[in-house]
Structure 1
Amino acid sequence: MGGVRSDRARCTAWAVTAAGTLLAALAACGSSDSGSGAPEPDGRAGRSGADGRDPHRVPGIGPAMLRRIPAGSGQVVAVYGDGRNSADSTVVLYTRHDGAWRHVRDWPAHNGGNGWSRNHRSGDRRSPVGVFTLTDAGGVLGDPGTELPYTQDRSFAAPRWWAKPYWHDFDYVIAIDYNRVRGVPPNDPRRPEGEGKGGSIWLHMDHGSGTSGCVSMSRQAMEFLLRELDPDRRPVVVMGDRADLTGG
């Protein structure tokens, strides 16, 4: 009898343990997707409709900012800043198909060393918050196969008196159409809104830390964007810290 009782006790203990493990696993699965409609930490879109997210809206972009995206735009480069005063951000490329925005790829990035500003000024080392078209590209290196107008010119090269990690920053650049003339090379110096508003805000290659106001990424990320962006799809960049993007 003692052996039978021991076997029953062991069986009961095993069943309780198994049930507890199963419940814990189910709880973990359930907690991985809250269904709140908020973007994932990297701004990535969830499964269309399965988690309450609207596939017709770019994740993490509030209604006011969303309205600034041109109706005919089919490509959005979203730059999600980690905080108002942070130099760390994430870049996500979205494309629109049949009215729904789809995540294509994302990369770690850097923005202005002092963070973000809704009223960017020359020398403030903050990146401007807003929605801007992407119309022109260029750099020290040759065209990697972009459809954007591309200007190769040694004049893009960073001066050699800069620290060495910065020397290749402008091997590839995509002009962000902030206080610039569209349809000209990115290094065209004209600033229609005046020098005080700053300018020469670009997507360019990363040196591992904050920028003077641009957004920087790896060489692989820049090459991918240059090959993917299509002027016929009217690409734009939506950029800012997450609070500004959500609030519009």
Structure 2
Amino acid sequence: MITRRTHVTLLAASLLLTGCGGGAVAGTAGMPTPSPEPSRTTPSPEMSVEAAPQQIPGLGPKTWAKIPAGTRQAVVVTGRGRDSSASTVVLYERTAAGWQAGASWPAHNALKGWSDHHLAGDLRSPVGVYTLTDAGGLLKDPGTKLPYDRGAGFTSPGTGFEGEPLAGSFDYVIAINYNRQPGTSPLDWTRPLGAGRGGGIWLHVDHGGPTHGCVSIAEKHMKVLLRTLDPELRPVVVMGDAKSLAG
């Protein structure tokens, strides 16, 4: 019988190999219906105000088809290039007026860029749309509405690819539901697609260099994300290089 202590020890070792911690691909749905054009042709003060877009800029029809119809929050991670570890994160929220964009944050993704078929150890982040249901970290809950698991299993020793210390990287994490069981701690090691397809893909605190497969942003931005995401708004992460997302 595997004890909780043994589970955490095994998981900590696996985190050193994968770099992060990580579910299931979000369901598909149709594209949002655009608002009808106003019938008046004479400009008015109301018409002069630019409306929020009905779709998130940069996302093509294939990507849109993977976003669940009920989703009202989307963390969009846009990679600079297919083989680049640099990316940008923007949190969008859908309102009656359309999709409203938040601030743009610099981010890191995997060392070798992106993959449409992520495999364990390939040093690429998985392209796709994934639900966000669970959070955790080494530090206490900063005030998130997501279930939050705090524990020593989020310790991140060692150094990154550029020699930077990894300490503090897992102070705050949000599990990306790629090849994991939603509704469990980010530390849960269940891999529905099998261990060969990798896992342990998180949003976590940036350590100043590329990741093994996760997406990392500054600690202050992780706190904002944790405090803003709301399970009732069915948040997802939309992630990939710009060309893939536009498909």
Q: Would you call these one fold, judging by a TM-score over 0.5?
A: yes
- 1:52 CA drift (Å): 9.9
Cα gap change, 1:58/1:226 in structure 2, threshold over 3 Å: closer, same or farther?
A: same
Unpaired runs of 5+ residues, structure 1, are: 1-48
Residues 1:190 and 2:222 are matched in the alignment: no
Alignment of 1:122-161 (within 5 A): 122-160=120-158
Q: Which has the higher helix share?
A: 1
**Count of residue pairs brought into register by the alignment:** 199
Farther-moved stretch of structure 1 (57-66 vs 157-166)? 157-166
Unpaired runs of 5+ residues, structure 2, are: 1-46
Please, which of 108, 111, 114 is the counterpart of residue 112 of structure 2? Answer: 114
Asked if structure 1 preserves the Cα contact closer than 8 Å seen for 2:206 and 2:216, the reply is yes
- 1:58 CA drift (Å): 0.7
For the aligned residue pairs, the C-alpha RMSD in angstroms reads: 1.9
Match of 1:233 in 2: 233
Determine the C-alpha separation between the residues in 2 that align with 1:51 and 1:241: 32
Residues 1:208 and 2:193 are matched in the alignment: no
* Structure 1 SS opposite 2:246: helix
Partner amino acid, structure 2, of 1:148: L
Determine the C-alpha separation between the residues in 1 that align with 2:148 and 2:50: 40
Determine the C-alpha separation between the residues in 1 that align with 2:94 and 2:246: 20
Partner amino acid, structure 2, of 1:192: P
- 1:104 CA drift (Å): 1.5
Partner amino acid, structure 2, of 1:208: G
Determine the C-alpha separation between the residues in 2 that align with 1:161 and 1:105: 29
Asked if structure 1 preserves the Cα contact closer than 8 Å seen for 2:51 and 2:98, the reply is no
* Structure 1 SS opposite 2:165: helix
Match of 2:11 in 1: none
Report 1 or 2 for greater relative contact order, CA contacts < 8 Å, sequence distance ≥ 6.
2
Alignment of 1:60-99 (within 5 A): 60-98=58-96
TM-score normalised over the length of structure 1: 0.77
Partner amino acid, structure 1, of 2:207: H
Asked if structure 1 preserves the Cα contact closer than 8 Å seen for 2:164 and 2:207, the reply is no
- 1:93 CA drift (Å): 0.3
Match of 1:171 in 2: 171
Match of 1:180 in 2: 180
- 1:99 CA drift (Å): 5.7
Q: Provide, for residues 201-224 of structure 1, a one-character-per-residue CA deviation record: whole Å limited to 9, x for no partner.
A: 000010111100000000011000
* Structure 2 SS opposite 1:89: strand
- 1:159 CA drift (Å): 2.9
Identity of aligned residues (%): 54
TM-score normalised over the length of structure 2: 0.77
Q: Provide, for residues 50-98 of structure 1, a one-character-per-residue CA deviation record: whole Å limited to 9, x for no partner.
A: 8999811111010110111000000000000000000000000000001
Determine the C-alpha separation between the residues in 2 that align with 1:216 and 1:110: 5
Determine the C-alpha separation between the residues in 2 that align with 1:96 and 1:171: 29
